[in-house]
Structure 1
Amino acid sequence: MKAIRRFTVRPVLPEPLRPLSDLARNLRWSWHAETRELFQAVDPEGWSAAGCDPVRLLGSVPAARLTELSRDRRFLRRLAAASDDLDDYLRGRRWYQTQQDADLPAAIAYFSPEFGVTAALPQYSGGLGILAGDHLKAASDLGVPLVGVGLLYRHGYFRQSLSRDGWQQEQYPLLDPNELPLSLLRDAGGAPVRVRLALPAGRCLHAHVWVARVGRVPLLLLDSDVEENGPSERNVTDRLYGGGSEHRLLQEMLLGIGGVRAVRAYCALTGHPEPEVFHTNEGHAGFLGLERIRELSERGVSFDAALEAVRAGTVFTTHTPVPAGIDRFDRELVARHFGEGAELPGLDTARILQLGQETYPGGRPDLFNMAVMGLRLAQRANGVSTLHGAVSRGMFAGLWPGFDAEEVPITSITNGVHAPTWVAPEVFRLGSRRIGAQQAEDALSFGGAQRWEAVGEIPDTAIWELRRELREQLVTEVRTRLRASWRQRGAGSAELGWIDGVLDPEVLTIGFARRVPSYKRLTLMLRDRERLTELLLHPTRPVQIVVAGKAHPADDGGKRLVQELVRFSDDPRVRHRIVFLPDYGMGMAQKLYPGCDVWLNNPLRPLEACGTSGMKAALNGGLNLSVLDGWWDEWYEPDFGWAIPTADGPTTDEERRDDLEAHALYELIEQRVAPRFYDRGPAGVPQRWVEMVRSTLANLGPRVLAGRMVREYVERLYAPAAQAHRAMDATAAHDLAEWKARVRAAWPGVTVDHVEVDEASGVAELGSTLALRVRVTLGDLRPEDVDVQAVAGRVDAQDSLADAQPFPLKPAGGPDQQGRWVFEGPLTLDRTGPFGYTVRILPAHRLLPAGADLGLVALPTESTGEGAGVLMR
């Protein structure tokens, strides 16, 4: 029989054990080993059965065991110590509180469609969510006053299993928020706080707000499964990345617009400081800017002035290197959901649509682009690695016509990973023995090269024994998961004896785990199956590979890749050397990263925005074997692993490219990776391999930390955004909006009329200076409205400037009889070789973050005076 109603019966903890509830409800336990060990001591078998989830554990512990623990003095001392430690962590001064900069923001709101904080809160699908979770945890460790905002998906992302023939199957388990480490946000009278959005045809979308405590950081999750909603509205937050276009649009409206309303309610009820900076993690949350414009409009601020005020305090992070990865909606669908009779009725729908319009060459005028809106609503934007920043500047350059891609105002902050989450306890204990537990904890949270240098003092034998221990744990984990997978596929116990021989703790182990879009090339390793089989079965230098990954439920191409890999790994010849583990998630990852000797990544370059899985492996002493893409392109050194050569030239077809890169991969494994692993010294230790492990830990480790990443966000983006927000009061925003309107109207009349130089073009000497004199027409603008520059640098065969550097020119006197102005200034010839310059005019205002901000530039025409350029050798 099935129950007609389900609810959760919570245990009543004895008074001495009440602190357990607070410890369970704060997700710091997910990265704090002592707290996890305390919960394990409550009921070791129950801890495992509860999936290492304290909330589930406390809901299942027998009352007799609780009574016993309430009288156990040793346990109560441990409980008191853990409770005091959490209190110190939550209330003490952290890095942020020690900064002397008064311009740091009082609070930052961080919006993301998914958050991977812990497997006990399955609200993530892949790297974007894990990155967001690590961002919150690192912000908590550093004391950064962040508020996270997302959606609560009642089915989360799907659970993956395999059919007998290896086809991916999806299941969507129903999640009960009352059984998760969440609390419902309630008003002063105890009623649940409701966020409301107006929908077309008089409908409404209501949502509750659940709060997760991620250390010091509150994470607000909006949930549409409430009684006030109709069936379709209740299902808005049913699952992550599911449904059609309107379903996704409603999710993103609830995330952005509803998220701002949830933040306002939370701050009003709790006294939390109002955010000065709003960070949009990918375009899904971009509508938050529209809600903030609406708030200002209701105070009498014009749309244009409100736009300037909102932009000043907004940061936008893009994670995708391809246009196909961006959410784009039909303009008519968006128009139906805004304006009179729908949401944001006080705003002009046409202005809203303009914000997401693809105005660049090749753009689709019938589509509304969420990333384009995100960029237009943010004064500061970034990619997630140096290479991805360059790719993003090229991809979005059309929004800034007339500027080279290098000047597009999108910077980069390379992602990092939260070390306390991803470092195996065994690695942490080894470090603790060298520098002490507190120093080791600080090294993982805050970085600092000096703390990590202690790795150099660890003996080779200790490092090698650690690596073997982690590999052995992975072998045990793989066999357990593989057996469960085969049982799900319909195999009986009598068929599965071979699993006891799967993998070998003495064999070189390679890991590959990620989402399965085509560009990540899950099956590149299968291009030459006989060659791969030889590597797996080599008589003296064998290799074993552990693979995991999920294809999107609607991606049959990705599912075929999974099936292809599974069928190969099912072959009795090799199934003891290569395995595919279904249902990749945080729980599996925390065993997989530490246990692999080598982490493999072979995407199509440059389509991996960052790719943080290799960072997590590196923090556990794993070496990387990767295409030079994402973070690996930035930080690769031979001491940290190997770079797979690429064949990504414009004339190389896809089949030949994959063949060449697969061949390069096989060669690296056979000729360089495996020999180094198996080249053992007298004590049985591969000394050169251990040296690479040591270098990876000591030198790469501090770079890949989420703490480093969040500090960069604070210093390079959050603090400047807060300063800009404070400077952009109502008067300043109004003045800037009026100034921009005047500049845009006058810009067609702005021209570079004549350029003179004090000596003829040709060969000049290094270090000499040219005096430039430029005559310009400004129309209705004044010299203080513009920045006239000489831009100089090396030139190529087509006279295009490279490594260009601007040199400001100053006005010389008033306008002539024709109303033209003269600007003068020196140009220093500071490099040898082919050298050239041009002149340009940009809008200039003290509140503009960059000269390219308006996307306006005036350049010389072919008939402009003498200043065609200067060549110097």
Structure 2
Amino acid sequence: METVVNQIKSKLPENLEGLLDLAYNYWWSWNRRATKLWEKINPGHWREYKNPVKLLLDTPEERLEELSKDDDFINLYELVIDQFRHYMRPESTWFSTNYPKWEEPVIYLCMEYGISKSLPIYSGGLGILAGDHIKTASDLGIPFIGIGLLYKHGYFKQEIDKDGRQIEVFPEYNPEEMPIKPLTTEKGEQILIEVPIEDRIVYARAFEVNVGRVKLYLLDTDVPQNSPDDRTICDYLYNAEIDKRIKQEILLGIGGMRLLRTLGIEPAVIHLNEGHPAFANFQRIAWYMEEGLNFLEALTIVRGTTIFTTHTPVPAGHDRFPIGEVEKRLAKFLEGLPKEEFLNLGREGDQFNMTLLSIRTSSYVNAVSRLHSKVTKEMWRHLWDGVPLDEIPVEGITNGVHTKTWLHNEIKKLVDRYIGRVWRDYAELEGLWYGVERIPDEELWGAHLKAKREFIELIKRKIKERNERLGIDEPLPEIDENALIIGFARRFATYKRATLILTDLERLKKIVNNPERPVYIIFGGKAHPMDEAGKEFLKRVYEVSRMPEFKNKIIVFENYDMGSARAMVAGVDVWLNNPRRPLEASGTSGMKAGLNGVLNLSVYDGWWVEGYNGKNGWVIGDESFEPETEKDDIRDAQSLYDLLENEVIPTYYENRAKWIYMMKESIKSIAPRFSTHRMVKEYVEKFYSKALTNAILLKRDSFKAAREIASWKAKIF
């Protein structure tokens, strides 16, 4: 890896040496000028990979020399480097101003992270949220460390065959070509972490990812010290094999804690993003017991300093493993420890439930929207026997999105011009976004059309690549940028009801084929490799898209990823979201769309319960909180068609002024309230600051308070 750094360094002209540090910090991924800088080096390469390390490796020295003498490039380079240096060494941040004495880092653990297309260790919403959380922690100046896993094959690259069947392709990614670096000792030797699994030690190397001011550490077992089987633990994200899945979660939790200790970092506050990393608290309890505390005393400290965020609205969605399988994988770790007390923390009959482990070892538990908080309280009310439902301590902190990542460049320019660049630091201030009203209608519409053109070109490129791969000889679709474009893109899980709009094909045929008011519906998204029902939904959508009456009006594109998402959430007119209520815990894609002036057409679920104000989009079905069943699908489909025929399409084609008014209403109502700046500040104020106070109090005077609380609980319970 060091040779790659040296290889790049050796070919960079002296006046472009700053490109090396810039390439290895994902700050560039949310800076418009920085991405423009990379694009200028080689536009085609940048569009394909969005990876500055690979870009610099593949760019000939002659081209770099040429750029070093290009005045326009040098001017942009110096501006970007100056911005980067100011960002990395600010005079003050929101956090340093409000918490000047706090230095201990918050440790954030998650199974996946969506930072950029060039780091393919994410599958969907959970990872994208984790990436946005880390970027925002950087913006706010929070001492923050992320821990995850590096997957050799990532999630998967989706191909769709001629019959509409999903084919999963697992490319092997080369860490040397990614904007990440291996963790080494001062002597340059690889750092290895020892993780007890089954009856042996499994070794893990670690990589460092710079995300602005925040470090993200990724563990991987593909090292020669391990057996061939152990080297494959991190091959795939969300491995379907129980054996590999449990080992991944042990590596993430226990291995993550051991990495921190190796680096000399003492975790004061832990944030578990979903239940996958909860074994981290097993390691923390064991360490406190080594210091002379009993199990309950150690648990008291761990519980008081842990935050757990659950994203799952149904019992079946939580990670459960046969308890014997967990006990087998933890055998070496549990040697000399009170095994039953540890296992009881996650015990649910004959299963071990990672969410239960997380709840039982956390003082601070939250769901990801107000509605999801109610659903979660209902789901786990048996854990708080006798406590009234509204007093169950499950907070609702609604998800958000990292504004600088998801706001389209053309919209950014307008916001900079009419609001000022202050939104970049204070995205959560509602009053600030009222400045959107100052944007002239024609300028906002012009920016929106540019975003639509970009997305249309992306779709055409994707269709062209697929046609060439499959030997399909047919013209590319002609998509009219002035026509109404509806976007539907998300995981193809059955509860998300991708086929709802296909319920009445006769009615849909009239909607999309009206020559005076044409409509395009564009679908993207992957089904989980093991989800056959989800794959059938995808196949059905594809089959309808190939029918003569829907050809080139309903379009399915393959391999929806973070790159295509950024284009799509700004490049359609309407964002369609119709899961079966209340199965959408929050959802964030509609926030990204709304941020860009794309109007949401959604069921009343997840974040839209809080986001909808009657002027920024539409509600499919009724505005109730009643759970839906399959019987409600017909009713929701009828509501969807009615809205399209009577409100959405007529407004788009006959009342452009009202449409643009709704676009502005969407931006100004959604941008601040659903920003991760608001979300992360809530975590700091409601959870992180309290957990840090607990850490200080519980550890003071040789753990005196922890011992007293544990003793009191033992007597009471």
Report the more deviating stretch, 35-44 or 698-707.
35-44
Residue 709 (structure 2) aligned to one of 729, 732, 736: 736
- The match for 1:604 among 580, 585, 589 is 580
Q: Which residue of 1 is the match for residue 274 of structure 2? A: 282
Q: Give the match for residue 17 of structure 2.
A: 18
| Paired amino acid for 1:454 | G
Match of 1:346 in 2: 336
Report matched runs for 1:620-635 at 5 Å.
Answer: 620-635=596-611
Matched, 1:181 2:179: yes
2:193 to 160, 173, 195: 195
Give distance in 2, aligned partners of 1:647 and 1:530: 27
Match of 1:558, SS?
Answer: helix
Distance in 2 (alpha carbons) for counterparts of 1:408 and 1:229: 45
- After superposition, residues 350-499 of structure 1 pair within 5 angstroms as 350-358=340-348, 365-436=349-420, 438-443=421-426, 446-491=427-472, 495-497=473-475, 499=476
Once the two structures are superposed, residues 186-227 of structure 1 have per-residue CA deviations (whole angstroms, 9 ceiling, x without a partner) of 1122211111112223x3211101011000110000011111
Q: Residues of 2 paired with 1:44 and 1:127: CA distance?
A: 29
Give runs of aligned pairs for residues 548-627 of structure 1, distance below 5 A.
Answer: 548-627=524-603
Q: Structure 2: how far apart are the matches of 1:500 and 1:743?
A: 70
Deviation at 1:647, TM superposition (A): 10
Q: Which stretch has the larger CA shift, 472-481 or 292-301?
A: 472-481
Paired AA for residue 223 in structure 1: D
* CA positional deviation for 1:659: 0.9
Residue type of the partner of 2:469?
A: Q
Q: CA deviation at 1:73?
A: 4.9
- The equivalences for 1:90-101 within 5 A come to 90-101=88-99
Point out where structure 2 has 5 or more consecutive residues left out of the alignment.
none
Q: Does 1:671 align with 2:646?
A: yes
Q: Does the C-alpha gap of structure 1 residues 171 and 575 become closer, same or farther in structure 2, counting only changes over 3 Å?
A: same
Distance 2:234 2:522 in 1: 34
Deviation at 1:43, TM superposition (A): 2.9
Deviation at 1:500, TM superposition (A): 4.1
Alignment correspondent of 2:489 = 513
Q: Which amino acid aligns with 2:632?
A: R
Picking from 718, 738, 750, the partner of 2:688 is 718
Contact 1:330-1:366 within 8 A present in 2 as well: yes
Q: Are 1:659 and 2:637 matched, yes or no?
A: no
In 2, the alpha carbon distance for the partners of 1:93 and 1:77 equals 25
Q: Kindly provide the amino acid, as one letter, of the partner of residue 715 in structure 1.
A: E
Residue 520 of structure 2 is matched in structure 1 by 544
- Confirm or deny: 8 A CA contact 1:105 1:276 kept in the other structure: no
For the 8 Å contact 2:581–2:627, the answer to whether it is kept is: no
* CA distance in 1: counterparts of 2:162 and 2:355, whole angstroms: 41
Whether 1:320 and 2:351 are equivalent positions in the alignment is no
Match of 1:212 among 197, 209, 214: 209
Q: Which moved more, 1:299-308 or 1:478-487?
A: 478-487
Maintained 8 Å contact 2:119/2:178:
yes
- Give the deviation of 1:42 after TM superposition: 2.3
Matches within 5 A, 1:136-285: 136-201=134-199, 203-266=200-263, 268=264, 274-285=266-277
Deviations 1:726-777 (A, max 9, x none): 1112111111111100111xxxxxxxxxxxxxxxxxxxxxxxxxxxxxxxxx
C-alpha distance in structure 2 between counterparts of 1:15 and 1:538, whole Å:
60
> Any conservation in 1 of the 2:511–2:518 contact (CA below 8 Å)?
yes
Q: Counterparts of 1:46-65 in structure 2 under 5 Å? A: 46-49=45-48, 51-65=49-63
Distance 1:194 1:652, change over 3 A: closer
CA distance in 2, matches of 1:68, 1:479: 32
What displacement does 1:652 show? 7.7
- AA of the residue aligned to 1:180: M
Deviation string, structure 1 residues 673-692 (Cα, Å, up to 9, x no partner) = 11111114xxxxx1111111
The secondary structure found in structure 2 opposite 1:56 is: helix
CA RMSD of aligned residues (A): 1.9
Structure 1 residues 649, 397: closer, same or farther in 2, change over 3 A? closer
SS in 2 for 1:231: coil
Query: Which residues of 2 match residues 323-338 of structure 1 at below 5 A?
Result: 323-338=315-330
Q: Aligned letter for 1:442?
A: D
Deviation for aligned residue 1:538: 1.9
> Equivalent residue for 2:620?
644
How far 1:590 moved relative to its partner? 0.9
Letter in 2 for 1:64: E
If the length of structure 2 is used for normalisation, what is the TM-score?
Answer: 0.96
Matches of 1:134 and 1:507, distance apart in 2: 32
CA change 1:616–1:473 in 2 (3 A) is same
Check conservation: 1:105, 1:275, Cα contact below 8 A.
no
Q: Return the letter of the residue paired with 1:709.
A: M
Q: Any conservation in 2 of the 1:289–1:377 contact (CA below 8 Å)?
A: yes
Shift of residue 469, structure 1, vs aligned partner: 2.4
Offset of residue 7 of structure 1 = 9.1
Distance 1:708-1:88 versus aligned 2 partners, 3 A rule = same
- In 2, Cα distance between the equivalents of 1:549 and 1:40? 27
Q: Secondary structure at the match of 2:168?
A: strand
Q: 1:841 aligns to what?
A: none
Letter in 1 for 2:304: A
**Residue segments in structure 1 that go unaligned for 5+ positions in a row:** 1-5, 359-364, 681-685, 745-873
Please say if residues 644 and 664 of structure 1, whose CA atoms lie closer than 8 Å, have aligned partners that are also in contact: yes
Stretch deviating more after TM superposition (373-382 or 294-303): 294-303
Report the counterpart of residue 87 of structure 1 in structure 2. Answer: 85
Larger Rg: 1
Q: 1 or 2, which has the higher helix percentage?
A: 2
Instruction: After superposition, give the CA deviation of every residue in 1:31-85 in whole Å (9 maximum; x if it has no partner).
Output: 1111111122223344335x22111110111111122233445533433332222
Paired residue type of 1:154: K
Measured at CA, do residues 616 and 651 of structure 1 come closer, stay the same or move farther in structure 2, by a change above 3 Å?
Answer: closer
The whole-number CA distance in structure 2 between the counterparts of 1:7 and 1:653 is 55
Distance 2:246 2:582 in 1: 29
CA distance in 1, matches of 2:101, 2:341: 32
Q: 2:304, 2:418 → 1: CA distance?
A: 46
Moved more, 588-597 or 699-708: 699-708
Task: Letter of the 2:665 partner, please give it.
Answer: S
Letter of the structure 2 residue corresponding to residue 34 of structure 1: R
Structure 2 CA distance, aligned partners of 1:450 and 1:129? 30
Does the aligned pair in 2 maintain the 1:328–1:367 contact within 8 Å? Answer: yes
Q: Secondary structure at the match of 1:666?
A: helix
Query: Which amino acid letter does the alignment assign opposite residue 456 of structure 2?
Result: V
Deviation at 1:532, TM superposition (A): 1.2
**Could you tell me whether the CA contact under 8 Å between 1:210 and 1:222 is conserved in 2?**
yes
Higher RCO (CA 8 Å, separation ≥ 6 residues): 2
Written as runs of structure 1 = structure 2, the 5 A alignment for 1:285-304 is 285-304=277-296
Provide, for residues 305-344 of structure 1, a one-character-per-residue CA deviation record: whole Å limited to 9, x for no partner.
11001111100000000111111011111112234xx124
* Cα separation, 1, equivalents of 2:695 and 2:362: 11
Counterpart-to-counterpart distance in 1, 2:20 and 2:100:
37
Residue identity in the other structure for 1:290: F
Partner of residue 691 from structure 1, selected from 661, 685, 696:
661
Match of 1:38 in 2: 37
